[in-house]
Amino acid sequence: MSRFALIMLAAAMLLSGNAYFALAQQAPAAEEKPKAYATYEELFDDFQKPRNVLLTRYERLRENERIEPAELEAVEEEMRALDRRYAAALRAYIDGHADAKDLMPARFELAVTWSRLPEGLELAIAAADELLEKHPDSELVADARFLKAQTLFQIAGRESDCVTALEAFIEKHADRAEVPAVRIMRVRALLFLDRVDDARRSLKVLLESSEVKKDKEASEFLQAQLDNLGWIGRELPDFDLPVVGGGTVNRAGFAGKPLLLVVYDSTSSACLGELPFIEQAHKKFGEKLGIFGISVNESRTAFEQWLERNKEKIAFKNAWIDREAENTLTRKLDVSLIPFNVLVNGEGKIYRYDVRSDDMLRYAELLAK
């Protein structure tokens, strides 16, 4: 895969898994008074040593196929705790050394550190703004703008500010390698704002760029994104399916209520990785959002047995569809890759097509309001 295609793919996956945070963000209370440091380099070295130890532990745990998730989470929490102490020490150093020559990297490191913490996103933005104000000509200005835009993207409700920050980056740093990823991020932010036409135009501009035209993989990726937008606003095809366990479900049964339609295979690791997000949507939005699963398992019996074993976790209704059959709902929706999620508004029209994970959750919240 080419470097440009990798950038496109990275942009599509950007922040996946940890991008869904609330607006309110406050600095946690300091556990203890930070140690005094004479230079930023001394401070950095003091924290980098334990960070390297934790990173090594974490990588070794990930290599163990039998590792319990709780063990990984414990190390992750240690790293978060270290980051909180690091941020407090950086803030104290910056505030206590007004005339120091090394405040620029310290301010950037503060922004980076806060951006790694769920409760620190607004503080990361403030630290990036501080760097841009205090060091407008530094070599880290572009990195600070990129970090600010990335962080704004993670905060539901800050999408307009995110678009502004992304556009500023494109305007001021047109030669940077991050520009393609920034343009894709801008498309996603526009879609969160429901500015579908603007997102469509932005994708078309990208497709017409000379860089994309020279890269087949990037062109195919962007064309697929554009094709997905073509489904928005279409009527959800009619369906009438037998539910595993009894009864039937049809489109009319969801009339007036937003719907999350989930196509998956319980033997697919990718699909099983998506299910926690579906379960989160079910718990978070409850009766405001209908959820209906469609299994394309090769064996109906195997799927029914899997559902029985996981009935406490899979709380939404499910149907089974023969993946080889013609004229099924999955065929009508042109489902080619799974997991596949489509969100439908209360009027029965497709709101978002083929969206996953954190993006799906943010769209689901917008629909459920």
What pLDDT score does 13 carry?
A: 42
What pLDDT score does 117 carry?
A: 96
More confident residue, 206 or 15: 206
Amino acid at 230: G
332-357: pLDDT as tens digits: 999 989 999 999 999 999 999 999 99
What pLDDT score does 287 carry?
A: 84
What pLDDT score does 22 carry?
A: 36
Dmax over CA atoms of the chain, in Å, equals 73
Residue 105, classified by CB atoms within 10 Å of its CB into exposed (0-12), middle (13-18) or buried (19+), is middle
pTM exceeding 0.75: yes
Helices (H), the chain: 3-13, 40-63, 69-96, 103-115, 121-134, 141-154, 159-172, 179-192, 196-208, 210-213, 216-229, 269-285, 300-309, 329-332, 357-368
What pLDDT score does 209 carry?
A: 87
d(CA 202, CA 184): 9
* pLDDT above 90 (res 141): yes
d(CA 184, CA 206): 9
DSSP annotation string for 209-276 = SHHHHT-HHHHHHHHHHHHHHTTTTPBPPP-EEEBTTS-EEEGGGGTTS-EEEEEE-TT-HHHHHHHH
Domains and CATH numbers, the chain: 3-228 (1.25.40.10), 240-368 (3.40.30.10)
d(CA 17, CA 358): 6
151-177: pLDDT as tens digits: 999 999 999 999 999 999 999 999 999
